């Protein structure tokens, strides 16, 4: 590969030193490189990179930060036809697998096309309020409904392909992709799945029911989760979390429609390590 983009998290890559080091290394091997900072210098929050800014012919996008940096980058760029790989400068490096110690060796593998490509499915989460679509977001890891700061449990009504599946009372519900199956879903007792498989996993969180367990759905299924009424319900407490980044307040009657996204992303795997 000879054409790269670098998306760095300047909260972790101070003065963009690592981004410049990666850029210099790649340019010394006759590569074309463009660098982006995906953190707003005023608000210190993530910003979306416009796909139109990615040069035509870009073959690989390198994110510098942690797993969160990669997760945020793919949200707006999953329609760009290139491979993603993460360089880890954060606390969690499960997706961002390149370590600082192995940086040059890993970059050489990219230059030599010495890697495998895993295609990862994504989910599309659509929030519906009063029958109207509020927003629709692509996620790579998971969609999480949770009770927020409220002490009492929440009620959730789940439909699959238009049919009632169950009513849940508990702390929340996780709907994970195979990529996200090893994250919050696994911590909540859900199963792991091969990252290149095509399925959805729904895991209730601390559900107040004896037989409440994770359920695996196919890539053709559509879930609709409605926020149920609760006599102790605090209208401001229940939350919808998308890939652990974007958090949205939801109220009773809101519906979250979750379905496999038409777009997927390609992740470069530079070693033979197992997903477990």
| Residue numbers annotated as active site | 67
CB atoms within 10 A of CB 171: 19
Phi, psi of 61 (to 5 degrees): -110, 120
**Any bridge partners for residue 216, and if so which?**
201
Cβ atoms of residues 233 and 160 within 8 Å: no
Element (H, E) at 127: strand 116-129
Taken as a whole, the chain contains a residue count of 276
Phi, psi of 166 (to 5 degrees): -170, 165
- DSSP tag of 55: P
Which residues does 206 contact at the CB level (< 8 Å), separation at least 6? 153, 170, 171, 172
Phi, psi of 207 (to 5 degrees): -70, 140
Cβ atoms of residues 126 and 136 within 8 Å: yes
Which residues does 242 contact at the CB level (< 8 Å), separation at least 6? 125, 137, 139, 143, 144, 248
Find the largest Cα–Cα distance for the chain: 65
């Amino acid at each position: 590969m000879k054409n790269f983009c670098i998306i760095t998290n300047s909260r972790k890559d101070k003065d963009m030193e690592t981004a410049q080091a990666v850029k210099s290394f790649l340019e010394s091997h006759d590569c074309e490189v463009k660098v982006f900072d995906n953190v707003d210098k005023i608000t210190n929050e993530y910003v979306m990179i416009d796909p139109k800014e990615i040069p035509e012919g870009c073959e690989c996008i390198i994110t510098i930060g942690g797993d969160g940096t990669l997760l945020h980058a793919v949200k707006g760029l999953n329609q760009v036809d290139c491979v993603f790989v993460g360089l880890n400068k954060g606390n969690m490096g499960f997706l961002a697998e390149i370590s600082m110690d192995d940086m040059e060796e890993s970059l050489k593998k990219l230059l030599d096309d010495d890697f495998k490509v895993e295609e990862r499915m994504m989910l599309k989460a659509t929030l519906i309020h009063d029958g109207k679509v509020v927003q629709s977001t692509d996620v790579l890891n998971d969609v999480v409904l949770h009770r927020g700061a409220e002490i009492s449990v929440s009620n959730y009504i789940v439909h699959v392909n238009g049919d009632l599946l169950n009513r849940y009372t508990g702390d929340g519900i996780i709907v994970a992709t195979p990529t996200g199956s090893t994250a919050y879903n696994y911590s909540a007792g859900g199963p792991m799945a091969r990252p290149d498989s095509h399925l959805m996993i729904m895991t209730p969180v601390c559900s107040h029911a004896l037989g409440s367990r994770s359920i695996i759905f196919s890539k053709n299924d559509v879930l609709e989760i409605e926020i149920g009424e609760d006599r102790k319900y605090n209208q401001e407490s229940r939350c919808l979390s998308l890939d652990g980044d974007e958090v949205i307040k939801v109220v009773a009657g809101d519906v979250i429609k979750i379905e496999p996204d038409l777009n997927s992303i390609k992740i470069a795997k530079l070693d033979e390590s197992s997903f477990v």
